[in-house]
Amino acid sequence: ARRIVLAAHPRGLPTAQDFRLEEVPMPAPDEGQVLLSTLYLSLDPYMRNLMDKVGPVYAEAVGLGAPMVGGTVGRVVASRHPGFQAGELVLGNAGWQSHALSDGSDLVRLGDVEQPSLALGGLGMPGFTAYVGLLDIGRPRPGDTVVVAAASGAVGSVVGQLAKLKGARAIGIASGADKCRQVVEELGFDACLDRREPDLAARLAAVCPDGIDVYFENVGGEVFDAVLPLLNIGARMPVCGVIAHYNDEAPPAGPDRLPGAMAAILQKRIRVQGFVILDHYADRYDAFRREMGQWVAEGRIKLREDVVEGLEAAPEAFIGLLQGRNHGKLVVRVAAD
């Protein structure tokens, strides 16, 4: 079996040397366990936070020498668990490994699905994040203007399409002309701005003539700076992620703009709410599965994947994700189905 472990805690943007590919003996299931063969591995921004010495508050950091964690779609290849049979396709958490053991408690049967990798994307955790964050926290009303960055990515692409479905205007921000064109032409956003071109604040103001009612915060940084002055009274800001800061090693250079941001939040009565999707499975996952499954089946929500080949390609692909090189939900095809 092969696996990728954390070789060093990154300083800033991770490098290939922070990971190590290892060959290990094939694990054998004990009574009550199954052996999984990974077909698809999900690569997600939160993994960067788990690589630090002290992980985020919602999860444990990956130890040095331990396999990188991650959501996977796999096949049960051997079972000593009464609830699972060899051959079954399951959603699980095998991490960056070709094979892994599970006691079954974290596995969800996928049945006979056409595109199993979607369970890691729009029909899984990232899609659910968009659903809860936008619909429950952002609460767009018809005619509202909704802004989201990383707009062609796993979460952002669904946020904008859900906004449209609810009758709001959707404005995306992404890097590069190709992504921006696809966000408008294929995903149906009203506009998408290239964050790498100059004058983002002025261009954003031009496409938001009525201000911004919902800012779905995925990135922070310069995008947040451009958005803040355009927020309307009573705007909602679900705080989902701040990927622009995941590689920061120190606070940004001054002047300190936090007091200005707090004053704007106060004066405009902005509702800022952070959320971690893990908290919402018990209450909202069934509704999400039903509704999103239907919207995707009807073609009302389109899901785009960026699939890279082979476990050994995971580190480079993940480093690329932190720089905007992925176009759609990033997954690794670890083994042929």
Applying CB under 6 A, the residues found at the interface with ligand NDP are 44-46, 126, 129, 149-150, 152-156, 174-175, 179, 195, 218-219, 221, 223, 240-241, 243-244, 275-277, 321-322, 324, 326, 329-330
Which of helix, strand or coil describes residue 108? Answer: strand
Minimum distance of ligand NDP from residue 32's CB (angstroms): 30
- With residue 310 as reference, give the H or E element that holds it: none
Nearer to ligand NDP, 79 or 175 (CB): 175
Nearer to ligand NDP, 138 or 241 (CB): 241
Nearer to ligand NDP, 143 or 252 (CB): 252
Residue 137's nearest CA partner among 1, 273, 289, 234 is 273
Nearer to ligand NDP, 35 or 47 (CB): 47
Residues 148, 210, 225: CA angle, nearest 5 degrees: 45
Minimum distance of ligand NDP from residue 314's CB (angstroms): 15
Nearer to ligand NDP, 18 or 88 (CB): 18
Minimum distance of ligand NDP from residue 27's CB (angstroms): 29
Q: Give the rounded distance of the alpha carbon of 97 from its chain centre.
A: 20
Rounded CA-CA distance 179/162 in Å is 18
* DSSP structure string for 222-272: HHHHHHGGGEEEEEEEEE---GGGTT-SSPPPSS--HHHHHHHHHHTT-EE
Minimum distance of ligand NDP from residue 58's CB (angstroms): 8
Q: Are 76 and 36 in contact (CB under 8 A)?
A: yes
- The pairing of strands 108-109 and 89-92 is antiparallel
Helix/strand/coil percentages in the chain, nearest 5 = 35, 25, 40
Minimum distance of ligand NDP from residue 167's CB (angstroms): 23
Residue 240's nearest CA partner among 258, 265, 215 is 215
Rounded CA-CA distance 264/247 in Å is 27
Residue type present at position 44: D
Minimum distance of ligand NDP from residue 329's CB (angstroms): 6
Residue 219's nearest CA partner among 130, 120, 315, 151 is 151
Nearer to ligand NDP, 80 or 302 (CB): 302
Nearer to ligand NDP, 154 or 204 (CB): 154
Nearer to ligand NDP, 110 or 330 (CB): 330
Minimum distance of ligand NDP from residue 220's CB (angstroms): 7
Minimum distance of ligand NDP from residue 35's CB (angstroms): 28
Residue 190 is given by DSSP the state S
Nearer to ligand NDP, 77 or 261 (CB): 261
CB atoms within 10 A of CB 71: 22
Rounded CA-CA distance 194/173 in Å is 6
Minimum distance of ligand NDP from residue 9's CB (angstroms): 18
